[in-house]
Amino acid sequence: MAAEVRPRLTVLSGPSGVGKSTVVAHMRKVHPEVWLSVSATTRKPRPGERDGVQYFFVSDDEFDKLVANGELLEWAEFAGNRYGTPRQAVLDRLRAGEPVLLEIDLQGARQVKESLPDSRLVFLAPPSWEELVRRLTGRGTESAEVIERRLEAAKVELAAESEFDTTLVNTSVEDVARELLALVAVA
């Protein structure tokens, strides 16, 4: 008799600008059955974003209540806004036997591993430091000060790679999305 395969939480993390959102979006376009947790945030919606789709947009007071009530699996502050993963939705999906994917920062990945030790942490690395700098500066949407802050944070995040179970190098969105899907789908 085969051993019971239990779905596991897979956490994708890596430095800002490495392409986490792009990889996840590509994977979910091809495999929409992969459930991606929707984070709560105190950030204001950007044009085209809808509550409950990209994020759950909440006030500072609402976010404080989520934290105080232990309703977030992890949370972090970034660029003056707070982001967090609602705990119950993740646990419900895992109990239902569905694989769950979180796309979060290093601080959040550490919190999840502490809370759910059998989570699989996947580090998305850039092909090189130069490529990461090119991606962050090439966006053209942020000030030099914000880019500098992101690059400083990226150095810290890159240094934490050894804390992760698996590293994927983002040389090709299609290839990395396929590799990530294999990790998410296999418990």
126 is in an annotated binding site: no
143 is in an annotated binding site: no
20 is in an annotated binding site: yes
140 is in an annotated binding site: no
15 is in an annotated binding site: yes
108 is in an annotated binding site: no
Q: For tokens 């804390």, what's the residue?
A: 163
Q: How far is CA 97 from CA 65, 92, 170, in A?
A: 29, 9, 29
- What tokens were used for 71? 């309703």
**Which residues sit in the known binding site for ATP?**
14-21
**Which residues sit in the known binding site?**
14-21
